Amino acid sequence: MKGVILDAGSLGKGEVDLSPITDLLDEWQVYGTSSPTETIERIGEATVVLSNKIVLDEEKFSIAGKLRLISVMATGTNNIDLDAAKRADITVSNAVAYATPSVVQHTISLMLALSTNLPAYIHDVKSGAWQKAPAFCMLDHPISELDGKVLGIVGFGELGSSVAAVARALGMKVLISQRPGCTNESKYRLPFDDLISEVDYLSLHCPLTAETENLVNLATLKKMKSSAFLINTARGGLVDAADLLQALGSNIIAGAAVDVLNTEPPPENDLLTNANQNNLIVTPHNAWGAIESRQRLVQQMADNINGFLTGKPIRVVTK
């Protein structure tokens, strides 16, 4: 059997040990990334294919007659044509919950950076402003505590509930939103439009669906407190980027931090990465990227392959 990893570069620059995967088959080909044309060439003789974001569809399946397992190096499988995979008798497995500690700490880090105006103070030190200050300290930018503040969470699964646990440990009150478009959930979950007016921090952890696309827009932002902050470590499409910039520039909300964009990597003219807003933090979709998280992902891929080889596939999305 032959195995192919199409975009191993998404795991980093060599810090991750791939041997749990590569020890399972006699022949492996590992590529940093693969164009559509290269993908067709590379999967032709493969039985097992690992992919993070490379698109695999019916056209590619038609030339990969030996392909029997796709193990997606992520939770989301929107880059795989699942119906076509099923017709081609290809098992598709994914990864789950491997990056929870990493995403949680990144989310909390963004909240802390916003509440302490950390980027502004780092800039002040590097620019020499502290060295010229008349007092021993600088308090030029507002600093607030998370203790006593209200955190609203949209998406209360593995990630949302874990963020809530840490937030409560920091003294925050947590409110949970109903799923957008759902009206029959627990009485302990607030309708989204009711929740956003009460929160000091709004953190998004929900999937991107027809109901959640551009969930945060100018109308949403205008319902929030002017002192509130937005954090998005979920999907870029949850937030209307142009509306967010307008809200930040007009002080409709106090600040925002995003780890995800509509297009990744972003084009040179991306609105958020080009914004000159002191109250906006943009990180490069690396909330999940702790070395421990990536190694857990590799182990889950190995487990998926081993399950397939022993006739007991796991984490199956379709087969």
Same CATH topology for 2-96+291-318 and 100-282: the answer is yes
pLDDT per position as a tens digit, 121-158: 999 999 999 999 999 999 999 999 999 999 999 999 99
Is 264 part of the annotated catalytic residue set?
yes
pLDDT of residue 186: 72
Q: Is 314 exposed, middle or buried (0-12, 13-18, 19+ CB in 10 A)?
A: middle
Q: Is 69 helix (H, G, I), strand (E, B) or coil?
A: strand
- Point out the catalytic residue in the list 285, 292, 294, 296: 285
- Point out the catalytic residue in the list 58, 59, 145, 264: 264
Candidate CATH numbers 3.40.50.720, 2.60.40.1930, 3.40.50.2300, 3.90.850.10; the one for domain 2-96+291-318: 3.40.50.720
Task: Tell whether the model's pLDDT for residue 221 goes beyond 80.
Answer: yes
Is 45 part of the annotated catalytic residue set?
no
Say which CATH class 100-282 falls into: alpha beta
pLDDT of residue 213: 96
When mean pLDDT is compared across 60-64, 108-112, 116-120, 187-191, the lowest value belongs to 187-191
pLDDT of residue 319: 59
Task: Tell whether the model's pLDDT for residue 178 goes beyond 80.
Answer: yes
Domain ranges of the chain: 2-96+291-318, 100-282
pLDDT of residue 14: 87
pLDDT of residue 179: 82
When mean pLDDT is compared across 176-180, 218-222, 246-250, 299-303, the lowest value belongs to 176-180
61 within 8 A of 276, measured Cβ to Cβ:
no
- Point out the catalytic residue in the list 68, 235, 294, 296: 235
pLDDT of residue 151: 98
Hey, what amino acid is at 141?
Answer: H
For 101-139, letters b (16+ CB in 10 Å) and e give bbbbbbbbbbbebbbbbbbbbeebeeeeeeeeeeeeeee
pLDDT of residue 183: 65
Q: What percent of the chain has pLDDT over 70?
A: 98
Q: What percent of the chain has pLDDT over 90?
A: 94
pLDDT of residue 180: 77
Instruction: Please tell me what DSSP assigns to residue 47.
Output: S
Closest CA to 103 of 255, 272, 297: 297
* CA–CA distance, 151 with 229 (Å, rounded to integer): 10
Confidence band for 239, pLDDT divided at 50, 70 and 90: very high
Tell me how far the alpha carbon of residue 127 is from its chain's centroid: 32
98 within 8 A of 77, measured Cβ to Cβ:
no
pLDDT of residue 318: 79
